Amino acid sequence: MNSSEFRRRGKEMVDYVANYMDGIESRQVYPDVEPGYLRPLIPAAAPQEPDTFEDIIKDIEKIIMPGVTHWHSPYFFAYFPTASSYPAMLADMLCGAIGCIGFSWAASPACTELETVMMDWLGKMLELPEAFLAGDAGEGGGVIQGSASEATLVALLAARTKVTRRLQAASPELTPAAIMEKLVAYASDQVVATLGTTSCCSFDNLLEVGPLCNKEDVWLHIDAAYAGSAFICPEFRHLLNGVEFADSFNFNPHKWLLVNFDCSAMWVKKRTDLTGAFKLDPVYLKHSHQDSGLITDYRHWQLPLGRRFRSLKMWFVFRMYGVKGLQAYIRKHVQLSHEFESLVRQDPRFEICAQVILGLVCFRLKGSNKLNEALLQRINSAKKIHLVPCQLRDKFVLRFAICSRTVESAHVQLAWEHIRELAATVLSAERGQ
């Protein structure tokens, strides 16, 4: 495909994408297919000669779309949101075209420098303590990771390297295995200190945990994968109080801040804690500025060597929404979750199972787990809306997460009516037994 065909096909794809988004509400949110549906629909091997673009675009509706769970449908209330916005999509097109691999400053200075500055912008939006910002000459700074898991693993490995070196210096007679045996990682049942757990969006008390970690010289990593985006609103910022005690902090703008996946934002107070653990310096990656102290080589901040120009997405989104637009977006989702909460509370057959703080409502029918499992099964079989459950202590609970960028009050109301109808069926089936 040459550039003139790309001009044509690219514009067709832009229209396909816009049509998909415009019409997503009329697509069934959860697909009808059974496991193994796709293999019989396509050839067993790649074609020897090229297919045409027309063939491929036809196959998207025929083969792909019937098997898609539509995460951006306003009837999708499962898991947590995954971000999607037009500015981020535009930025991703540019990112694909530049196609640089930003493992070092020299590999594409703009890729590294925009990331550092965007992480400062975002840190300021969250009112992170100054120590986490890079600024002109800070010791801290931010980096985009692929996922919160990766950020947590990076923090864990950095902490391990740091404490191992401390123990080695203090007790040179210890073998590596003896040191390994002494290491302890403390975690709750959701792992590491968490702001906004996946099950029910609960919050660890950082003001209790933080000073203790600092006193005992324990690395404190805070994961606010979902909830972090809300901290750009002053009324939710108090949930982050205590972050000043942390060594590292991360959350996922790719969940709730309109920056398409992947974009997991991680900050550290001492960048040398990361670069000390991951430093990789073969000759083919050396460049003239690297020992000047002026530059950042992000390959030392992460597990993979390669990295895309992901900060473009942040730049486009932050600028085209503005901080006020992003705050309005968060507030609208929180307001919708409270709207759903109040609908649930008005129906005496139901109960709310955890405090509603952000965009997640955990609820259930008063009654057995079996009853609630039956309700969820009816909901997800009907496929008008899509939910997933969680387990809170011994209770089977339904999660209603405000997800889509385009979800409105009308969708929430319709979803609730639908849930009530199915609940009536389930309850009458139970009474009939």
Site for a copy of itself in 267-326 (CB under 8 A): 282-286, 289, 292, 294-295, 303-306, 308, 312, 315-316, 318-325
Residue (86 or 203) nearer to a copy of itself, CB:
86
| Binders in 326-365 for a copy of itself, by CB under 8 A | none
Q: How far is the CB of 208 from a copy of itself (least distance, A)?
A: 25
> Among 25, 68, 174, 430, which residue sits at the site for a copy of itself (rule: CB under 8 A)?
68
Neighbour tally for 430: CB within 10 Å: 14
Give residues 178-217 in contact with a copy of itself (rule: CB under 8 A).
178, 180-181, 198-199
Q: Are strands 360-365 and 388-392 parallel, antiparallel or unpaired?
A: unpaired
Beta strand 141-145 pairing with 193-194: unpaired
Please state the closest distance from residue 298 (CB atom) to a copy of itself, in A: 13
CA distances in angstroms from 209 to 203, 226, 246, listed in the order given: 12, 20, 10
- Select the residue interacting with a copy of itself from 51, 127, 130, 235 (CB under 8 A): 51
Q: How far is the CB of 25 from a copy of itself (least distance, A)?
A: 12
Handedness of CA 101, 104, 108, 112 (dihedral sign): positive
Contact call for residue 46 and a copy of itself (CB under 8 A): yes
Closest CB to a copy of itself among residues 167, 285: 285
Return the number of the residue (92 or 273) whose C-beta is nearest a copy of itself: 92
From residue 137 to residue 176, what is the string marking binding to a copy of itself with x (rule CB under 8 A)? Answer: ---------xxxxx--x---------------------x-
Tally of helices (H runs) and strands (E runs) in the chain:
12, 9
**Of residues 218-257, which lie at the interface with a copy of itself (CB under 8 A)?**
254
- CA dist 402 and 77 (Å) reads 6
Of 390 and 414, nearer to a copy of itself (C-beta) is 390
- The residue type of 328 is A
Assess contact for 349 and 365: CB atoms under 8 A. Answer: yes
User: Applying CB under 8 A, does 79 fall inside the site for a copy of itself?
Assistant: yes
Q: What SS3 state is found at 248? A: strand
In the set 75, 77, 249, 261, which binds a copy of itself (CB under 8 A)? 261
Please say which residue, 33 or 207, places its beta carbon nearer to a copy of itself.
Answer: 33
State in angstroms the smallest separation of the CB of 169 from a copy of itself.
21
List 57's β-bridge partners, or say none.
none
Give 53 or 203: the residue with its C-beta nearer to a copy of itself. 53
Q: Which lies closer to a copy of itself via its Cβ, residue 120 or residue 341? A: 120
Please identify, among the stretches 268-276, 344-352, 386-394, 410-418, the one whose residues bind a copy of itself according to the rule CB under 8 A.
386-394
Cβ-based nearer residue to a copy of itself, 34 or 216: 34
Give 3-state DSSP helix, strand, coil % of the chain, rounded to 5.
50, 10, 40
Q: How far apart are the first and last CA of the chain?
A: 64
CB 341 within 8 A of CB 111: no
Contact string (CB under 8 A) for a copy of itself, positions 4-23, x = contact: xxxx-xxx-xxxxxx-xxx-
Q: Which is nearer to a copy of itself, 98 or 163 (CB)?
A: 98
Interacting positions 388-427 with a copy of itself (CB under 8 A): 388-391, 396, 399
Centre a 10 Å sphere on the Cβ of residue 392 and count the other Cβ atoms it contains: 16
Minimum distance from CB of 289 to a copy of itself (Å)? 5
Q: Which tokens go with 22?
A: 């415009």
How would you list the strands of the sheet with 264-268, edge to edge?
141-145, 264-268, 248-251, 221-223, 193-194
Minimum distance from CB of 246 to a copy of itself (Å)? 22
Name the minimum Å distance from CB 399 to a copy of itself.
6
Query: Is 139 exposed, middle or buried, given 0-12, 13-18 or 19+ CB atoms closer than 10 A?
Result: middle
Phi/psi at 362 (5° precision): -100, 120
Of the residues 33, 185, 187, 429, which one makes contact with a copy of itself according to CB under 8 A: 33
d(CA 332, CA 187): 33
Residues 6+ apart with CB under 8 A from 233: 327, 330, 331
* DSSP strand pairing (221-223 vs 193-194): parallel
Which listed residue (29, 92, 354, 423) binds a copy of itself by CB under 8 A?
92
By CB under 8 A, the count of residues binding a copy of itself is 134
Q: 83 — phi, psi (to 5°)? A: -70, 145
In the complex, what is the shortest distance from the CB of residue 266 to a copy of itself, in angstroms, rounded to a whole number?
Answer: 13
Q: Helix or strand or coil: residue 321?
A: helix
Residue 233 CB coordination number (10 Å): 17
